Amino acid sequence: MAKKTNPVPAPAPEVRAPAPERAPVGPPATSGPEIVEDVPLAAVAPCPFNVRRHFDPADLASLADSIRALGLKEPLLVRPVGRAGGPAPEWNGYSWIYLGEPAYELADGERRFRALALIHQAGGDIGKAPRPNEVPVIVRPMTDEAVRAVMLVSREQSRDLRTSELVAGYTALAEGRTVEQLAEFLGRKNEIAHVRGVLKLARLPGWALAAIDAGKLKPASAVLVAGLHSEPSRKRAAACAILGFHHADEEVDAFIADHFDRGEDPTELEDWDYDGPLTYRELKDLLASEFQRELKSAPFPRQALDLLEGVGSCDACPKRAGNDPDAVEAKVRADMCLDPECYRAKEEVWNTRVVEAAKASGKTILSKKDAEKLFNRYGDDSLAYRSGYVDLAATCYQDKEKRTYGALLKGHVADDQVAIAVGPKTGKPFELVKEDLADTVLKAKYKIGVRSSLSGSNDKWLKEQRERKKKAELGRAAAAVANGLVAARVKEKLPPGFPVFQGGVPLLQHVAATVASFGGSDVCRAVAKRRGLPLKDPHAHREAVSALAFTLAEPRDLIALIAELAATYRTLSWASEYARDNVSKEERAFFAAFGIDRKTLTQDAAAEKKAAKASKKKDKKKSAGGGVPAPAPVALVTWDGVPNFPEQAAAHLATKGVNTVADLDAVVERLKRGDGGAARPNGAANRYTALKELGVPPDVVYQAGDALVDWESARSAPAAAAAPKPKGKRKAGAA
């Protein structure tokens, strides 16, 4: 995961308003009539069952101002309680009888109660004359559970509660009740699905509930996650939903362990780059692919009762989607398992039994190392093409009835001729038969062959792949020629000393470096290779081309480099296996301006390749027939400090008066200027081309050039290591 470039601001920390001091109270009255009266505020104690825990001080101050101006519009709801250590109040038919002073406990209206306390603490009147310190209340005898229900329903209807507070309230009232009973108790008997969904949210970890409160996870999405039947699955799915991950893999588990399990708030992830949250549709797709398993395709018998201790059949399991009311409401397919851990455990037990039974029957069990070689490296477990085996469970498409290989070979292959290979990704055992054996049986019994049935379209695909690779090679060769021609013809059209305005050279240098930077590593790699640029490390092509731009002082050299970079970018697609023959009008016009035709260059490249192949074949035939002896090993010497230099090349260079690397570089410069030889584009001439120009024998010219490149790289490596490193971090992609 990368750092975010635009951090998501974390919500401001909650500040709780101080609660009025709670007076000690005794047991409540649970039966009797409801009356309305004025009572002293000091006689009312806050409710201990209020699920709401967060009160905004600014909001309370605003409410207090409103009460000062307009008065209290709605009485507080309280219940009569006794003093600490005393009996509960009693109703005598006319009024409540208390032991000592009357006492009350708040049942609803704590926000108004706290605002009244603020007014009272400031010395203001909270009631009307002649009793300014008393407030109107509704006195109603209530049990603890009744108070919980009133508090919860009132706050939920006014939408004052956070989801985590709502879940806590429902969970407290759900003890000893079914979902239906709780819904009826709360007056929501027609909203059973809502009540069930809120109760399910209690199965989520605390950090997931905090994410719901902060708006990072929608309640509807959270209910989907809470419907999973194992805690690890719920944690992974919740993290994916919050962060926007579309795969529940090891990366998600590591993130949970490193952050959420350590108490980090999911609302404070501003330093992390994530795409979340997932939409409801995306989350539903994720659950279907990562957290649900189709029972129809289960390898184990669904009705088995002995696979896992204490776990029955899948059809009667409450974790089957068709047996889960929430899954039915969410329209999950009925025959899906909602507990992938249980499914996987059953699968492992069954696979172990299959392997043990196969071993007992005399079948060969392939080792893990041998089995891995038979399967494709990517995707699900499937036999690799040309693995040498056929899967008995696979369909033989050459058979008119489309039977499996197992059905076709049954009775014709002995148990000891069957091999068991365990898939490296799924752990599923595969029954395999040698391809040659299967081919013999199929041809003898059914007049069909394995290779035709197995390959079919595969052989055609391989042929097409070879054609695409051939096309890409020719395109690469044509592109190399085209890019060199563009640079050369730019220089032909611009005279030496081409004038530019003052400051034009630095501008062109920066343009060239910028084009190199944005052209990408593939463009710079091709240009660096074509120009033979020395590299500080094997991947520093972009830096090498940018450095070249700032060493060029001639405007036409810089324009040629820019044109070459542009041409290389345009011709990248030529080297693709899926390159299109038809090109855009812009690209055609670009190369037409330099007299370059892609089709002609490709044909020339094909002709050269064909000629080289014929020559190689001819030489090989002569060598095999004894007409031409095999070439002797090339003798190597150290030439002007360059080790492993071909002795034949050194001797030839001496005849040309080139005895040092400096002499060779002088030839390179002469070729760049186009003096005394074929005109070369600036930078297109390098030590390789100089060796060719000097007539070094073709069989050692590239070996000599490679020796020079290795020597140059070895020489520049210590200098690069000794150079002082810049302070601070370097930005990715900087030139």
Kindly give the residue spans of alpha helices, DSSP state H, lying in 57-178: 57-70, 110-121, 144-157, 163-174
pLDDT (0 to 100) of residue 194: 81
Cα separation, 68 vs 53, in Å, equals 25
Q: Is the pLDDT of residue 76 over 70?
A: yes
Closest CA to 364 of 320, 301, 416: 416
pLDDT (0 to 100) of residue 503: 83
Closest CA to 537 of 717, 733, 725, 730: 717
Task: Give the confidence band of 18 by pLDDT, cuts at 50, 70, 90.
Answer: very low
Q: What is the pLDDT of residues 178-216, one digit of tens each?
A: 888 888 887 777 778 888 888 888 888 888 888 888 888
Q: What is the pLDDT of residues 461-472, one digit of tens each?
A: 556 777 778 888
Residues 6+ apart with CB under 8 A from 282: 246
Task: Give the confidence band of 728 by pLDDT, cuts at 50, 70, 90.
Answer: very low
Return the CA Rg of the chain: 41
Cα separation, 298 vs 247, in Å, equals 22
Cα separation, 70 vs 47, in Å, equals 26
pLDDT (0 to 100) of residue 406: 92
Residues 6+ apart with CB under 8 A from 612: none
- Residue whose entry in the numeric block shows the structure tokens 């980090």: 264
Closest CA to 336 of 277, 394, 292: 292
- Residue whose entry in the numeric block shows the structure tokens 């401001």: 12
Q: Is the pLDDT of residue 7 over 60?
A: no
Q: Cis before residue 277, ω within 30 degrees of 0?
A: yes
Query: 3 or 638: which carries more pLDDT confidence?
Result: 638
Query: 735 or 526: which carries more pLDDT confidence?
Result: 526
Q: What is the pLDDT of residues 219-228, one digit of tens each?
A: 888 888 888 8
For the ranges 30-39, 318-327, 556-565, 662-671, the lowest mean pLDDT is seen at: 30-39
Tell me the mean pLDDT in the region 35-46.
81
Q: What is the pLDDT of residues 243-302, one digit of tens each?
A: 888 887 777 888 888 778 777 777 666 545 566 688 888 888 888 888 888 888 888 888
CA-based angle 534:539:540, to the nearest 5?
A: 50
Cα separation, 37 vs 706, in Å, equals 102
Q: How far is CA 346 from CA 258, 302, 333, 353, in A?
A: 30, 10, 21, 11
Q: Is the pLDDT of residue 433 over 90?
A: yes
pLDDT (0 to 100) of residue 729: 40
SS3 content of the chain, % helix, strand, coil (to 5): 50, 10, 40
pTM over 0.85: no
Q: Whole-number mean pLDDT of the chain?
A: 78
CB 317 within 8 A of CB 392: no
CB 90 within 8 A of CB 96: yes
Q: What is the pLDDT of residues 99-130, one digit of tens each?
A: 556 678 888 887 888 888 888 787 777 766 56
pLDDT (0 to 100) of residue 1: 42
Q: How far is CA 454 from CA 28, 435, 459, 473, 486, in A?
A: 82, 10, 9, 29, 48
pLDDT (0 to 100) of residue 102: 63
Tell me the mean pLDDT in the region 411-432.
89
Cα separation, 532 vs 685, in Å, equals 8
- DSSP letter for each residue of 609-622: HHHHHHHHHHHHHH
- DSSP letter, residue 434: E
Question: Could you give the domains of the chain?
Answer: 25-161 (3.90.1530.10), 361-455 (no CATH), 467-605 (no CATH), 636-722 (no CATH)
Q: Is the pLDDT of residue 724 over 70?
A: no
Task: Give the confidence band of 310 by pLDDT, cuts at 50, 70, 90.
Answer: confident
Cα separation, 139 vs 417, in Å, equals 88
Specify the DSSP element, H or E, that contains 530: helix 521-531
- Residue whose entry in the numeric block shows the structure tokens 């030489």: 619
Task: Give the confidence band of 541 by pLDDT, cuts at 50, 70, 90.
Answer: confident
pLDDT (0 to 100) of residue 28: 66
